[in-house]
Chain A
Amino acid sequence: MNVEDIVKTLDGKLVAGGDNGRTVGAVVANDLMSDVLLNDADDILLLTSLASDQAIRTANIVGAMCVVVHNAKPLPQTMCQVADTLGIPLVSSPLSKYESCVRVHDFLAKE
């Protein structure tokens, strides 16, 4: 599952960071950044409701391959700038986090 697949599956839009060509290694759905930092997996797809710079900075620390923000939350301009600077794809999705989890699971199960 690459960034293009994520955008399609989650009815999303790639708003910053560009497509880095990486594929999903693990999925983390969380709004608490300390919990995200606990994870040891590589190439994390971070599903979150946190629309802030910190979601991107946390993603960078754990080497996440993509960040998806849910419920069509407005994304601060600085968040998009940080995503562009760090080269982390930032996707906005109208879905709830729960719905995203289900769809991502279904996609990965088929792979």
Chain B
Amino acid sequence: MMDYSPTILTGGDTRSDDQIMEAHGRAARRVSGSGLPGAEDSPLVIMELLQRLRVRDVMRARDIISVVRSDSLRFAQNLMKRNNISGVPVVENRRLFGIVSVNDIIRALEGGWIHDTCQQHMATNLVVLEEDMPLAFAIKYFENYTFGRFPVLNKERDLVGIVSQRDVMRAIMKELTDELARLEGRTPPPGAADTAAKGEGALPYYSMRQFAVVHNDLTNAGKAANEIKRMLKEAGVDKKTIRRVAVAAYELEINICIHSVGGAITFILDTEKATIVAKDSGPGIKDVEWACRDGTSTANDWIRSMGFGAGMGLANSKRVADTFDITSKIPTGTTVMCTFNLAETKPQ
């Protein structure tokens, strides 16, 4: 997994962290620990979602309400009141200088410096997000820092958006709704589920599992394929087909692990066929035809030392599958779909 430490922009502010957090509008609350909040208990589809979505997918990039350093706190106060927001970034030429929060305004009203410039009282020790961070990190930040929103910077350190808890919630709800709609479209008609229980070894009418695959996590890579193999065995699928499906699942899982930023393996089993969809979130393949040839690989020595990177993954998957389909786009990612007919054995 990529290492994203909290990014703190430090300016000339002499206040303590707690003061600055207070200045952001809420009492500071730090939560220790790492990883995804509650992810250990989350369904895989949600884990995959939190890894796949990036901060840039959920942030508000347009109409960012901001002030410049020379604006007065009174001006910032009116802006916040008009737009019903509790903080406003101080930005010039896309560069983020600080944040003025509602607490700064309250303090200014009490202290009698509401006509001072924003530059004099803004918070400059800021916690920011980067646009290509997985959404999981944004959620972790909200948990750790309790700010209502975070500025989002690009690689050039320009302010490119603002992300609030509401934005995160809205994006997750939308994605989950889409996922549910997709699942409902595949749900068997009422009564058909009875065909699933025709005794031990009978093929279930329909089953689906999704497995998150994390970049460079070779310790866990292969778990999905082994689980898929177990499911097929339980469903009474013949030995040769099980092996073909398991080989493709394993190769595709390893590919996501070592060549992409992360993704997921989705396995769908019905009475007629088994389907594997391996989808990653980038960086995509420049020449798909080349990548599907035997022995072509971009793997480094470390990956080779772990027994992979021989350039056989896609070619192997294609060889064992009844249908093989691959689409790839730089930088958004690659999707591979393999299907296996369960009624007949693939001719060798």
Question: Footprint of B on A, CB under 8 Å?
Answer: 31-35, 37-38, 40, 48, 50, 52-55, 57-58, 60-63, 78, 86
Q: What residues on A are CB-neighbors of B34 within 8 Å?
A: none
**Bound complex: CA A40 to CA B223 (Å):** 21
**Bound complex: CA A35 to CA B229 (Å):** 19
CB within 8 A of B226: which of A40, A55, A60? Answer: A60
How many chain B residues sit at the interface, stated as a range, is 20 to 34
Which residues of B, 200-237, contact A by the 8 Å Cβ criterion? 218-219, 221-223, 225-226, 229
Interface centre among A52, A60, A61, by most chain B C-beta atoms within 10 angstroms, is A61
Chain B interface SS verdict (over half): helix
Chain A interface SS verdict (over half): helix
- Cβ-defined contact, A33 with B247, below 8 A: no
30 pairs from A and B in contact (CB 8 Å cutoff): A32-B307, A33-B254, A33-B307, A33-B308, A34-B311, A34-B312, A34-B313, A37-B251, A37-B316, A38-B312, A38-B316, A40-B348, A50-B306, A50-B307, A52-B306, A53-B219, A53-B222, A54-B222, A54-B307, A55-B307, A57-B222, A57-B223, A57-B225, A57-B250, A58-B222, A60-B226, A61-B229, A61-B250, A62-B247, A63-B243
- Cβ-defined contact, A54 with B229, below 8 A: no
CB within 8 A of B221: which of A34, A35, A54, A63? Answer: A54
- Cβ-defined contact, A60 with B229, below 8 A: yes
- Cβ-defined contact, A61 with B310, below 8 A: no
- Cβ-defined contact, B306 with A37, below 8 A: no
- Cβ-defined contact, B243 with A35, below 8 A: no
- Minimum CB–CB distance from A46 to chain B (whole Å) comes to 11
Residue of A nearest to B313 (CB): A34
Q: What residues on A are CB-neighbors of B47 within 8 Å?
A: none
Residue of B nearest to A55 (CB): B307
Residue of A nearest to B315 (CB): A34
Kindly list 8 other residue pairs between chains A and B, CB separation below 8 angstroms, not including A52-B306, A57-B223, A57-B250: A32-B310, A34-B308, A34-B313, A38-B312, A54-B306, A57-B225, A61-B229, A63-B239
- Cβ-defined contact, A35 with B312, below 8 A: yes
**Bound complex: CA A58 to CA B221 (Å):** 11
Residue of B nearest to A49 (CB): B307
Q: What residues on B are CB-neighbors of A58 within 8 Å?
A: 222, 250, 307
- Cβ-defined contact, A78 with B219, below 8 A: yes
- Minimum CB–CB distance from A32 to chain B (whole Å) comes to 5
Q: What residues on A are CB-neighbors of B251 within 8 Å?
A: 34, 37
- Cβ-defined contact, A86 with B226, below 8 A: yes
**Bound complex: CA A53 to CA B306 (Å):** 10
B246 is an interface residue with CB less than 8 A from chain A: yes
Q: What residues on B are CB-neighbors of A60 within 8 Å?
A: 226, 229
- Minimum CB–CB distance from A48 to chain B (whole Å) comes to 8
Q: What residues on A are CB-neighbors of B243 within 8 Å?
A: 61-63
Q: 3 closest Cβ contacts across the A-B interface?
A: A57-B222, A34-B312, A33-B307
- Cβ-defined contact, A52 with B247, below 8 A: no
Which residues of B, 16-40, contact A by the 8 Å Cβ criterion? none
Q: What residues on A are CB-neighbors of B247 within 8 Å?
A: 37, 61-62
CB within 8 A of B316: which of A34, A52, A54, A55? Answer: A34
- Minimum CB–CB distance from B331 to chain A (whole Å) comes to 26
- Minimum CB–CB distance from A44 to chain B (whole Å) comes to 11
**Bound complex: CA A44 to CA B312 (Å):** 20
Q: What residues on A are CB-neighbors of B239 within 8 Å?
A: 63
**Bound complex: CA A17 to CA B70 (Å):** 71
